[in-house]
Structure 1
Amino acid sequence: MAKYLLLKHYRGAPAPVNNVPMDQWTPEEISAHMQYMHDFAARLEGTGEFVDGQALAPEGTFVRYDGEGRPPVTDGPFAETKDLIAGWMVIDVDSYERAIELAGDLSAAPGAGGKPIHEWLEVRPFLTSPPTITE
């Protein structure tokens, strides 16, 4: 088994396939999307592949140590773009191929008009051990 992070990217600007930003969805469309996410996680709980997941608020702050003891702070995530991290899910699966398959399923969550949103998901394996240097 290997753990993967499915990182959900939300694009506020019109996406190429389903071009209705989430802030323009009806309450019913939002409910259907959230139910899909819940059902997806429940299905993975049943197979033992779900580890954890969480939606994230759109607000955020970047912080970086400045070398002088007082970190500079900038506004929100991806301040210069309409793309932001909407949430994440950790899965524990048998293979990379299974992680890709599940990410594809998750990308099909419904949006406006009940159509799949074709959401971008970043699939990242967890680092299992530090790299070893041999000479």
Structure 2
Amino acid sequence: MSQYMLIMRGTDESNAAMMANIDEMMATSRQFIEDLFKAGVYVAAEGLDDPAQGVVVDFSGDTPVVTDGPYGETKELFGGFFLIDVASKQEAVEWAKRVPAAPGAKVEVRRVPGSDETPDGRN
């Protein structure tokens, strides 16, 4: 088994669509988490606050620069994640296809290497 993070990436438009139907989206998300739990693959799931409430610490110069959100030129915003423990990348992709998301949103699937692995996935 390997852990995969299903990273929720939305745009201003998809986030607005989600907020317009927040009660339905929350109910659908709770059902999705219940499905993950029943399948025995659930590890964790969290959503994030409005990007306007965050800050960015930029390391592109000699000294880190802190800027208040929202994130200027960013086209997609990281909105939350589901962490699952599954047998394969393909299984993670199949779960990602079921994530409740507003039109225009994306789900990025990334493997979480174990503590005994190097960052590129090799032992």
Instruction: Give me the CA root mean square deviation.
Output: 2.6
Q: Residues 53-132 of structure 1 correspond to what in structure 2 (within 5 A)?
A: 53-58=45-50, 59-64=53-58, 67=62, 71-76=64-69, 78-106=71-99, 109=100, 111=102, 117=103, 119-128=105-114, 129-130=117-118
Q: Find out whether 1:11 has 2:4 as its counterpart.
A: no
Say if 2:11 and 2:104, in contact at 8 Å, map to a contact too.
Answer: no
Q: Give every structure 1 segment of 4 or more consecutive aligned residues whose post-TM-superposition deviation is greater than 6 Å.
A: none
Distance 1:24 1:105, change over 3 A: closer
Say if 2:46 and 2:82, in contact at 8 Å, map to a contact too.
Answer: yes
SS in 1 for 2:98: helix
The whole-number CA distance in structure 2 between the counterparts of 1:36 and 1:132 is 33
Q: Which runs of 5+ in 2 are unaligned?
A: none
Q: Which runs of 5+ in 1 are unaligned?
A: 112-116
The whole-number CA distance in structure 1 between the counterparts of 2:121 and 2:4 is 21
SS in 1 for 2:23: helix
The whole-number CA distance in structure 2 between the counterparts of 1:80 and 1:44 is 34
Residue identity in the other structure for 1:53: A
The whole-number CA distance in structure 2 between the counterparts of 1:64 and 1:118 is 27
- Number of equivalences: 116
| 1:51-75 alpha-carbon deviations (Å, 9 max, x no partner) | 001010122111145655xx31022
Distance 1:24 1:97, change over 3 A: closer
- The corresponding residue for 2:35 is 43
Which structure has the bigger radius of gyration?
1
Identity across aligned pairs (percent)? 28
